[in-house]
Each structure stands twice: as C-alpha cells, then as structure tokens.
Chain A
Amino acid sequence: MGDPILLGCLATVILPLLAFAIIMIFTWRHHKLSLAISLVASTIPLIIAWIFFFKLAGLKQPIIYQFDWLISDQVKVPFGFLLDPTSLLMLVIVATISWLVQVYSIGYMGGDPGFGRYYAFLSLFAMSMIGIVISSGLLQVFISWELVGLASYLLIGFWYEKFSASEAGKKAFVVTRFGDIGFFIGLVFLTLYFGGLDIHSINTAAQTKAMPQWLLTTSALLIFCGVMGKSAQFPLHVWLPDAMEGPTPVSALLHSATMVAAGVYLMTRLFPLFAAAGPTALTIILAISTITLILSSTIGMVAWDIKQVWAYSTVSQLGFMSMGLAAAGLAGGTLFAGAFHLTTHAAFKALLFLCAGVFIHHFGTNDFFVMSAQGGRKLTIPMVTVTIAALALAGIFPFAGFFSKELILGSLAHLPNKIWLILGLLGAFLTAYYAFRVIFVMLFPRPKPPDWVQAQIDAAAGAGHGHGEEDTGHGHGHEAHHGVPLVMSLPLLILAFFTLILGFCQGWLEKFLLGESHPHDVDLVLLVAAVGCALGGMGVAWVDWGSSKARWEGFLRNFPVLENFFIQKWYMDHFWRWFLNSIIYGIFSKWFTYNDRRVVDGGVDAVALGTIGSGRLLSFIQTAFVQLNILFMVLVLAGLGIYLLMGR
C-alpha cells in the first residue's frame, strides 16, 4: 500500500461509499453529522483529483493497477484502476462538480426532512461516477454504471411521496435499462470474441486492428446503446426531462458531470474502439446524435419550465458531443473536440442548473415567465452568472462554449457530407435562440405581465405556497428567503469563473489529453458562420422576447403545426406510451405472463399435484393394518437375505 497513487484511487472510490454506508446505517437522523461526513468524503477525493490532475499531467503511458477478478480459461475480467489523461480530466470534473453541488445543497436542501438521506445518495452517486471514471475494466464500468442508475433513481425520486417524482425515477431507471441491455450484450460480445474487458487492451487492439472489423462495428454499436440510454440520446432521451422532478442540485449533478456525462465519457474512453468501428456504425451514431440535437433544441424552444429548457439543452449538447466524437472518428480526428465540449459543458451546465435552483428556491415556481414577472432579475449574482452560462451555451466568444463548439463544428466540417455541418449550425442557432429566450424573458420583464402569465401567478398565489412546496419540495414559503445564501452563491461564482477561463485553457488541455497540441488552422468561413448562427439565434430571441415591442410569442406562433409538434415533444412520450402499451404490455407481457402462469407456476403446480396424486395412488399401502406392513417388510428382508446368501 506504499503507492500514493493507488492509495489515492482507492480513497476516491471508497470514501464516498463509506460515507453512504455510514449515513444510511447510523447517522441519517442527524443532519449536521451526515452533512459533515458526506462533505469530508467528497472533499478528500476533490483534493486527490486536483493533485493527480497537476502531478500526473504529461502522462505518456496510462497508469494501470489491476488484477484478474474473474478467470475462466482464456477469458479474464480485470478489476482495478486505469488512469490516463481522459480519466484524470473527468475525475477532476466529477469531483469538483459533485463537491460544489454538495456545498450548494446545504442551502438548497436545508430543513428538508430527508437531508441525511439526500447526502447519502449524493455520496453514492459520487462513488459510482468516480468508479466509472477510473475503472480499468468494462465490467467494472458496467457495475458502476448501474450504480449510477440506481443512485439517479433514488435521487430523482427523492421526494418519493410525490407521485410524479417517483414515476420519473422509475422512468429514468427503466429507460436507461433499455440501453444497458445493448451495452451488456456488447460486453458479452467483447468477452466472447476478444477474450477480455480490459479497456486498455481493447483500445490497443482496436488501434492495431487486432480485432475483426465486424466485432468492432457490433460492439461499438451495442455499447453505444448504453450511451444512448445514459446520455439521453434519441429515442431514449425521454427520461431526462422528467428527471427534473428531483431536487434541482441533483439535476445539476445529473446533467453536467455525472449521469449523462457518463455516456459521452464512455465514448471518449473507448474512442479508439469507436474510431475503428467503421463508417457504417459511425454514421448511425452521427445520425442519432444529430436527430437528438435538433429534436431537443426544438422542444427547448417551447418549454416554459426553466429546468425543462436546460434539460433539453443538455440533451442537445450531449448530441453535439457525440456528433463531435463520431465525426472525429469518421474523419480520423482525435477525441479532443468531444472531451473538451464535455468539460466546458460540465461547467456551464452545472452553473445553469444551480442558478435555476436559486430562482426556483426563491420564487417557488419553475415557470420562468412567472419568475420574470416577480422580479427575477433582482437576484444579481444568479442573474449575472446565468447570463454568462447562457452565453457559453450559445457559444459566444469568449465564453467556454464558443471554443468547444467551434472545435466540434470544425470536425463536422471535415466530413465530406456537408449536411452534418449544416445541421450542426442549425443546432447552434436553435441553442442560442432558446437559451436567450429564457435570459431575455428574465432580464426584461413586461411592466404588466401578459394575461396567461398573470393567470399562472394567480393560480400559484391561489394555491398558497402549494405550488412552491410541490416544486421545491420542502415547507418553506418563499418569503422566508431574502437574498441568496453564501453556500449557494459561492458555487455559482466558482463555476462562472471556470466558464470564463476554460475556453482559454484549450491548448493546455489538448496537450494534457493528447500529449501534443495541434495548431488549429482557423477556418474563417466556419468561424463566421458559427458566430453568425449564435448571434442570429440571439437576435431572433431578442426580437421575439427581448425588445420592448416583442410580443412574447415566438416566431413559431406563425407555424402552429410545428409549434404544437414541439410542445408535444415530437410525440415521443406518446410513442413510448404506445410502445409500452401495445408492444411491451400487449405482446411481451402477455407472453411472459402466460409463460409465468402456465409454465413456471404450472410446472410447480404440476409437481405438487403429481406428488399429491402419486401419494393418493400409493396410499393403498397405508392399510392401517400395521401387521400387514410389518409382514411385507419382513418378507422382503428375508427374501433379500436368502437371495444374497444363495449367491455366495
């Protein structure tokens, strides 16, 4: 145990797990104690992560600590830690965001009866996410992956007494399970035909073409199924917007650094595998991510719930990242564009959600029109930081999102088929539009709110604080909070700082991740197009929502069919409902129920009935004449004995 690096790895995983166990078993009643335990167990990994990040920068060879956990003939399943630049970067992101969220939650969740439980779940979440990040084998990743699923289920359904919350938790759990089936089959394929699940050797084999092409394609696509579930790619994205039912800090955690990032992170971790997967697989991935990007951006344009908007923006940005990775794989590029966008997105998306959390906490509503009418812009720190984050999201210079988006668009531009680039630009335009729709509405409230907003406000007031309680989940009315507590504003400032500087770290980060920095030839046309799209989106948003003459209707009002289509979320929820009802319940469940009733239960019943029947059949032996029984016994014994003696 003398190796400090190994010790550090162990500590990052085990401490949060210990915190989870201790809080759940012993201290969950004591809020302060639980908080202290959880904070300690997240601060130490944070420090370790940053120390690793700087000390191990410039790593030439990945550091691997592993032993063979399951051995079966040629198949070896490793267990251990794999530290390479990608995982170091992700480790820092995960540790930082989860620490900030924990600090922020002190304010947000204060007074909640489930405070201790909440921190236990956060620790579990941190532990499993760190497990995904530094695991050395895919099975270990899968275990942590499922633990993340479990933790997200627990956190989304944290206010389980609320029906919609527990439903949303279930939905997240089940929908991601769909993808995980694919992931698991992919793992089985790799185990069967490659003979191991060691990430490093899989990547090496993929790079040196030591695997057959069909295996590369199949396993990449199957693993991408898991990514689709976790990273909320079309058509499995439906769980993410509903995941808003959890406490807002949880949404920040889910959407920036942990749950959804896990999918994209897996893609970057296995980037050699994906890059070698062949054009068919990559084109499928690219198409799925593009659909995701466009779909979620358009839904984001019509949502009225601030968390929903950010949720759909997350989906779209995740689509963007996997577009970047797939495009890089197709064009022979590097994983940097996707990983860089993952990093910057983690910062500004966490910021967006934490700001949204402040507003929701303060006003007791999720509707940003209502927030605007009630003076949302008076909360200076959140308003400034949310604007910064939105600028980053839209990709405006000099905020972080600008640089990473530029890179992804650059790798899209390398593709021979320009349709991807055009769709990417369209996505950027829509992103800027819906982000600034929220910002402008909040910044420039009407002197007199429109009727439909007033109706919302009246409804909220009429229900007392019911609406507020329903959304923030604890019993404080919003009058109780004046100003923003320090524990809540400090994380905002830290994240805003990162959002501002991360873009300029591009060269350094690239050197960190790839070992060398490529000079990027700046494509001026592309730059102009990208910035033009972003500014265009902002401009349209200004016309629609910002300027004093804006009607707060949006240009989509002119296309009622489209608008309705978007409001109905492309009918994806309807599709899944139909799918669930007719395919799953109608066909599979029926079969399974039939199988269960007739084969499983029937089998057991048949065994029981057979026993009873044969017992009935043989019960004639029980004549109740003891002496007859003894006679038979004696005769058989004597017969046997004589037979044996004769044989001698």
Chain B
Amino acid sequence: MLIFNQLSTYLYLALALFAIGLYGVLARRNLIAMLISIELILNAAMINFMAFNRFLAPHPAVGQVITLFIMAVAAAEAAIALSIIVAVYRKLKTINVEQATELRG
C-alpha cells in the first residue's frame, strides 16, 4: 500500500495544516498574519474535499467543483479582509489585533 494512495495520509496532512493555521490565528497579532493562517485553514479544508473526492465519492467531478467554489469564496474573503485591514490601519494606525480594542465591553 503506497503512502500516497491512502485516504488517512491526506486527512492527517490536512489536519496538520489546519492545526498550524489555527495556531497562527490564535497566536499571531498581525492581522495580515492571521489572514495568512486563515488561508491555510481553508487549504486544509480543500485538501479534505479533494481527498474524499478521490477515495470515497461516487463521482469525482463533484468534489473538484466544490473545491473550485471554495477557492472563489476564499478569493472574495481575502479581498474583503485585505481592504478591511487597510481601512483599520488607516483608522487606528496599527494592524495589531491586540491594539484594536475599541469594542471592549
């Protein structure tokens, strides 16, 4: 059994990517770094879809379609997030998430 022909390889790999991304979201203070981490998380999800599509799904085209949609949504998300970051920087003169505390309760 080849390593790259096993579903669990891909799942663990996606999991690792997801965990790394999650760590980045939780630990990084730079908004752009958080966005990069989110991109990693999205990629983990895409790997999952593609892996299930490859090994389990009845029709291989469906998973690819969904992956493409995720890409489109991720692109939109990145565009919005980046413009928000620019706006936040213009407003607060920082993109450090710990200093953007205007909504403190």
Answer whether A and B touch in the complex at a CB cut-off of 8 Å. Answer: yes
The prevalent SS among residues of B at the interface is: loop
Q: Do A623 and B25 touch (CB < 8 A)?
A: no
Residues of B near A619 (CB, < 8 A) are: 105
In the bound complex, what is the Cα–Cα distance between A624 and B101 (angstroms)? 5
Residues of B near A631 (CB, < 8 A) are: 26
Whole-angstrom distance from the CB of B28 to the nearest CB of chain A? 8
Whole-angstrom distance from the CB of B95 to the nearest CB of chain A? 13
**Is B70 interfacial (CB-CB < 8 Å)?**
no
Q: Mark B25-57, 1 if CB is under 8 A from A, else 0.
A: 111010000000000000000000000000000
Q: Do A624 and B22 touch (CB < 8 A)?
A: no
Residue among A624, A627, A630, A634 making CB contact with B103, cutoff 8 Å: A624
Closest B residue to A621 by CB, please name it. Answer: B105
Q: Do B97 and A627 touch (CB < 8 A)?
A: yes
Q: Mark A622-646, 1 if CB is under 8 A from B, else 0.
A: 1111110011001000000000000
Interface residues of A in 23-72 (CB under 8 A from B): none
Q: Do B104 and A627 touch (CB < 8 A)?
A: no
Q: Mark A602-623, 1 if CB is under 8 A from B, else 0.
A: 0000000000000000111111
Total interface residues on B, CB under 8 Å, equals 13
Q: List 29 A-B contacts (CB under 8 A).
A: A618-B105, A619-B105, A620-B105, A621-B105, A622-B103, A622-B104, A622-B105, A623-B104, A623-B105, A624-B100, A624-B101, A624-B102, A624-B103, A624-B104, A624-B105, A625-B97, A625-B98, A625-B101, A626-B97, A627-B25, A627-B26, A627-B27, A627-B29, A627-B97, A630-B25, A630-B26, A631-B26, A634-B22, A634-B26
In the bound complex, what is the Cα–Cα distance between A165 and B27 (angstroms)? 79
Whole-angstrom distance from the CB of A390 to the nearest CB of chain B? 84
The prevalent SS among residues of A at the interface is: helix
In the bound complex, what is the Cα–Cα distance between A622 and B102 (angstroms)? 11
How many cross-chain pairs have Cβ atoms below 8 Å apart between A and B? 29
Closest B residue to A627 by CB, please name it. Answer: B26
Whole-angstrom distance from the CB of B96 to the nearest CB of chain A? 11
Residues of A near B104 (CB, < 8 A) are: 622-624
Whole-angstrom distance from the CB of A615 to the nearest CB of chain B? 8
Known: A624-B103, A627-B29. 8 other contacts (CB 8 A): A619-B105, A624-B100, A624-B105, A626-B97, A627-B26, A630-B25, A631-B26, A634-B26
Residues of B near A620 (CB, < 8 A) are: 105
Interface residues of B in 85-105 (CB under 8 A from A): 97-98, 100-105
Residues of B near A626 (CB, < 8 A) are: 97
Residues of A near B26 (CB, < 8 A) are: 627, 630-631, 634
In the bound complex, what is the Cα–Cα distance between A618 and B105 (angstroms)? 9
Q: Mark A449-488, 1 if CB is under 8 A from B, else 0.
A: 0000000000000000000000000000000000000000
Residues of A near B22 (CB, < 8 A) are: 634
In the bound complex, what is the Cα–Cα distance between A623 and B98 (angstroms)? 10
In the bound complex, what is the Cα–Cα distance between A365 and B6 (angstroms)? 110
**Which of A618, A620, A621, A623 has most chain B Cβ within 10 Å?**
A623
Closest A residue to B28 by CB, please name it. Answer: A627
In the bound complex, what is the Cα–Cα distance between A41 and B16 (angstroms)? 86
Closest A residue to B31 by CB, please name it. Answer: A626
In the bound complex, what is the Cα–Cα distance between A630 and B27 (angstroms)? 10
Whole-angstrom distance from the CB of A631 to the nearest CB of chain B? 5
Residues of B near A625 (CB, < 8 A) are: 97-98, 101
In the bound complex, what is the Cα–Cα distance between A625 and B104 (angstroms)? 8
Q: Mark B2-28, 1 if CB is under 8 A from A, else 0.
A: 000000000000000000001001110
Residues of A near B97 (CB, < 8 A) are: 625-627
Interface residues of A in 573-622 (CB under 8 A from B): 618-622
Closest A residue to B101 by CB, please name it. Answer: A624
Closest B residue to A628 by CB, please name it. Answer: B26
Whole-angstrom distance from the CB of B42 to the nearest CB of chain A? 16
In the bound complex, what is the Cα–Cα distance between A622 and B104 (angstroms)? 6
Residues of A near B25 (CB, < 8 A) are: 627, 630
